[in-house]
Amino acid sequence: MRVVRLHGAGDLRLHDEPEPVPGAGEALVRVTAVGICGSDLHWVAQGGIGADRVVDPFVLGHECAGVIESGPRRGERVAIDPAIACGHCEHCEQGEVNLCDTMHFAGHYPKGGAMAQYVAWPERCLVPLPASLSDADGAMLEPLGVGLYSVELGRVRPGTSVGVFGCGPIGLCILQVARAAGATQLLASELPAYAQRSARGASYGATVFAAGAGEVEGMWEATGGRGVDVAFEAAGDPGAVEAAVAAVRPGGRVILVGIPTEDRISFTASVARRKDLEIRVVHRMKHTYPHAIGLVASGRVDVRSLVTHRLPLGEVGEAFRIGSAREGVKVVLEP
């Protein structure tokens, strides 16, 4: 089979390797769609994320779907939950599976991911896809899950005003989930160079401001001088963090979702302190697949139109170039 391995910063290579052999409790899955996430871009550009670095060549990819090719579920279309939690540590027992002490996560070193034609994966992590969802929809359930968990942390309710800083795939998912949760005012910001992303945010009912060009003032004016109830930073950019803290109302909530290039997040302490802000930092997701499937199947959230590029595995270099340049919204590889 063909597989893409990351050997180090900027060094992606195609390999021909044997198909994996499923172990106990696993099934062989033919991968049909795998999205390129912002974290994948970090792995390729910097050779790691934070303290986690590439040591031996490994396989990226955690937004994925496929078809089971072995066992009693053979032929079943599934979304592949990338998080393999132990199920018995203190965090897992309390339902905080995203904090599992011994988590193995697809495409996060050393656990290989799904940028391959086949993977062997625990059957308990293979989520059935309804016929109404495409393979690419199945891959998009993972970023949608991050959006769901972010909105949950932000406690968005009917009547909430929301600001989203960054209209990439997760930011656009947050806008849609917040709308579905009853948010009555959606505001967003994106860099002027990425007009397609801004237009997509506007199509979901958001008023979109140009990032770095007065978006904070625009959001304060749009909320009648009150500020947004919840600000979601989804750009992984220091300026977006600062803007989110500045745009939220006193007593409001700031949810930090983006992964910064430098492993540090900062903001003006006096502004956050005087507002008595609640600040949460998102780590992946938990228990979101059933809810995510329901939102997509019902039409309340549209992930299909977020996929703007589909390429075969052999064009992985071009796929990462498109993703790094932020051309379109989501790039999906189809092994």
Query: Per-domain residue ranges for the chain?
Result: 2-128+303-334, 145-281
Which residues on adjacent β-strands are paired with residue 53?
A: 48
What's the pLDDT score for residue 213? 81
pLDDT, residue 237, reads 94
Residue 289's pLDDT is what?
97
* Structure tokens that stand for 166 in this block: 């960054």
**Is residue 234 within 8 Å of residue 162, measured between CB atoms?**
no
Residues 6+ apart with CB under 8 A from 141: 65, 79, 127, 288, 289, 292, 293, 296, 303
Which CATH fold would you assign to the domain 145-281?
Answer: Rossmann fold (3.40.50)
Whose structure tokens read 């390797």? 17
CA distance linking residue 240 with residue 243, whole number of Å: 5
- pLDDT tens sequence across 40-59: 999 999 999 989 999 999 99
Q: Which two tokens stand for residue 46?
A: 């910097």
Contact in structure between 232 and 255 (CB atoms under 8 Å): yes
* pLDDT confidence of residue 124: 97
Give the chain's largest Cα–Cα span.
61
pLDDT of residue 8: 95
Q: What is the pLDDT of residues 11-47, one digit of tens each?
A: 999 999 999 999 999 999 999 999 999 999 999 999 9
Taking the model in full, what pTM does it have?
0.96
Taken in order 92, 111, 19, 60, the sign of the CA dihedral is positive
Whole-number pLDDT of residue 166: 97
* β-sheet bridge partners, residue 105: 83
Per residue in 236-247, pLDDT tens?
A: 999 999 999 999
3-class secondary structure, 229: strand
- Report DSSP letters for 149-182, one per residue: HHHHHHT--TT-EEEEE--SHHHHHHHHHHHHTT
Of residues 282, 313, 259, the one with CA closest to residue 113: 313
Lookup: tokens for 196: 């397609």
- Write out the H or E segment, with its range, that includes residue 59: none
| pLDDT < 70 regions, the chain | none
pLDDT of residue 261: 87
Q: Give the list of residues 6+ apart from residue 329 with CB closer than 8 angstroms, or none.
A: 168, 169, 172, 196, 197, 200, 306, 307, 308
CATH code given to domain 2-128+303-334? 3.90.180.10
Determine the Cα angle at 84 with ends 78 and 86, to 5°: 135
